[in-house]
Copies of this chain bind each other. A is one copy, B any other.
Amino acid sequence: MNIWFTENQSDSLRLSLKVKNILYSSKTPYQNLMIVETEQYGKALILDNIIQTTEYDEFFYHEMITHVPLFTHPDPKKILIIGGGDGGAVREILKHDTVEKVTLVDIDEEVIKTSKLFLPTIGCCLNDPKVEVICTDGIEFIKGKKKYYDIIIVDSTDPVGPAIGLFNKEFYNNTYDALKDDGILTVQSESPIINTNVTVDIYKTIKNIYPVTYLYTGIVPTYQGGLWCFTLGSKHYDPLQTTVNNIGFITKYFTPEIFKACFSLPSFIKNMLEGD
């Protein structure tokens, strides 16, 4: 079978994966959703023709968006994820013994249902007793919350469609209010190669709100350019003053050394962040 899924990563860049099978396809109230079995990376969750995650490469992203803030905080108990309906971030967060409750707020119930059904290695923990799943708009959900969470993770799609309100000052201000006095926000921050302006905007907006702000990088093979950014905004703890000696559970990407190394930015990213 010579069938390919092609993602337009930009107007002039495409990534194509050979398809073994189209397992599911639907139009949800918010987006087009597909589960496609690929030869290279296993099953893939695709929203509006953009690869969100694949069985093979999901660990790169999910480990980096969770363990960096959770190891920066000495005692993370209450965690909020906005987006992340596939469940990969939930799975990683539950590896931390300190965690008492994870609230996952994803606007699209179908993503959650589909992930549980078709991507069990990713959606495996969505029924865990510590996990509360709320299907609503994260932008509205966060409004009015006061000093409740230790960690907020914004695990969103790209800044188009339903996710666009997750990329502005009002939303980041609301996350600040919703975090305890020593809370930490982490936001997926796009490709510094293809979406340079988005990466810089997220970083600068968060830096204007949070006293401790860093950009850090990871790898995501199926995302544009392979290099991916995350922004960490912290009200108190500084990851560069934190040492992780022992992880205490199994990971595929994250290590104590990666916890340090991910904050070492290439010159071109440093220059991007320092520009006007």
List residues of chain A with CB under 8 Å of any chain B CB. Answer: 4, 6, 10-18, 38-40, 57, 59-60, 193, 219-221, 223-227, 250-255, 257-258, 260-262, 264-268, 270
Query: A258: which B residues are within 8 A, CB to CB?
Result: 264, 266
**Quick one: closest B residue to A271, CB to CB?**
B252
Complex CA–CA separation, A258 to B40 (angstroms): 30
- Asked whether, in the complex, the Cβ of A257 is within 8 Å of the Cβ of B264, the reply is yes
Q: How often does this chain occur in the complex, in copies?
A: 2
Choice from B17, B39, B219, B267 contacting A227 with Cβ under 8 Å: B219
Query: A57: which B residues are within 8 A, CB to CB?
Result: 193
Complex CA–CA separation, A57 to B270 (angstroms): 17
Query: A224: which B residues are within 8 A, CB to CB?
Result: 221
Cβ distance A107 to chain B, nearest Cβ, rounded Å: 29
Query: A6: which B residues are within 8 A, CB to CB?
Result: 16
10 A–B pairs (Cβ distance < 8 Å), ordered by A: A13-B17, A14-B17, A219-B225, A221-B225, A226-B226, A252-B266, A252-B267, A254-B267, A255-B266, A261-B264
- Asked whether, in the complex, the Cβ of B267 is within 8 Å of the Cβ of A253, the reply is yes
Choice from B10, B16, B59, B223 contacting A13 with Cβ under 8 Å: B16
Query: A221: which B residues are within 8 A, CB to CB?
Result: 193, 224-227
Complex CA–CA separation, A225 to B227 (angstroms): 9
Complex CA–CA separation, A18 to B57 (angstroms): 26
Cβ distance A178 to chain B, nearest Cβ, rounded Å: 32
Query: A227: which B residues are within 8 A, CB to CB?
Result: 219, 221, 226
Complex CA–CA separation, A226 to B193 (angstroms): 11
- Asked whether, in the complex, the Cβ of A260 is within 8 Å of the Cβ of B264, the reply is yes
Query: A38: which B residues are within 8 A, CB to CB?
Result: 12
**Quick one: closest B residue to A247, CB to CB?**
B267
**Quick one: closest B residue to A256, CB to CB?**
B264
Query: A253: which B residues are within 8 A, CB to CB?
Result: 266-268
**Quick one: closest B residue to A225, CB to CB?**
B221
- Asked whether, in the complex, the Cβ of B14 is within 8 Å of the Cβ of A15, the reply is yes
Query: A193: which B residues are within 8 A, CB to CB?
Result: 57, 221
Beyond contacts A6-B16, A10-B40, A261-B264: 6 other A-B pairs, Cβ-Cβ < 8 A, are A14-B16, A193-B221, A219-B219, A219-B225, A221-B225, A251-B267
Cβ distance A260 to chain B, nearest Cβ, rounded Å: 7
Cβ distance A157 to chain B, nearest Cβ, rounded Å: 20
